[in-house]
Amino acid sequence: MLNYNSFNRLLGKSVGKNLIVGSNCLIFIFALFMVNREMTKNAKAESVNPISNKDLLPASAPLDDVLTPEPAMGSNAKVASVARPNDISESLRPWDALIQRYCKEFGVDPDLASAVLYIESRGDPYIVSRKGALGLMQITQATADFMEVGDVFDPEENIKAGVKYIAWLIKKYDETTALLAYNAGIGTLEQNRIPSETRNFIDKVLSLKTLLKAEKNKSI
């Protein structure tokens, strides 16, 4: 028969043992919780977001980035490297009547305006550049406001504004300087600097203008 002291010792050992077992269980449960949380976090980090149709599309490149390298020799080499004459004609044909109408109204060479339109947009009336130029003639919003354009994506309004702006620039400067200001902005012109992309633009426009005239002379 246990006396009081023996009973207390036995009870103490039992309680101590239970405390050790209980604490070990708590440690195990806490460790299991931490491992589970870490695995969940890693799974989220490694998960792949759903792919949308937009993600599957190739990144759009600026027009200048997709041009064929220019040949070292040959007349109109810069324009010939841009596209075949048939491609140029097909791109310009839908807009030719508007170009002719407004070039006559504002006194601009139609071949020059056609060259600007093709080099700027390839005949796409809804194109938007990385810098925010809009439509067929790549009119900036500031130019659209200056030319009082209501809908910059309307082909007629866009061409009218572009041709009118070219006419205004040519009266203010010479043709080459007008192209510089058209592409880079009057502010850049006043800073007496010409970006390399603007030099390329001027070369391509003037070369295409010459090619268009040559094609017309062949058909006469």
> For residue range 97-145, what is the model confidence (pLDDT) as tens digits?
999 999 999 999 999 999 999 999 999 999 999 989 999 999 999 999 9
pTM: 0.62
Rg (CA), the chain: 36
One-letter amino acid of 184: A
More confident residue, 75 or 79: 79
Give residue 65's pLDDT band: very low, low, confident or very high (50, 70, 90).
very low
pLDDT of residue 10: 45
Separation of alpha carbons 138 and 92, rounded Å: 15
Separation of alpha carbons 129 and 138, rounded Å: 8
Separation of alpha carbons 55 and 57, rounded Å: 6
One-letter amino acid of 38: E
Question: Which pair of tokens denotes residue 201?
Answer: 């633009």
Residues classed as catalytic? 120
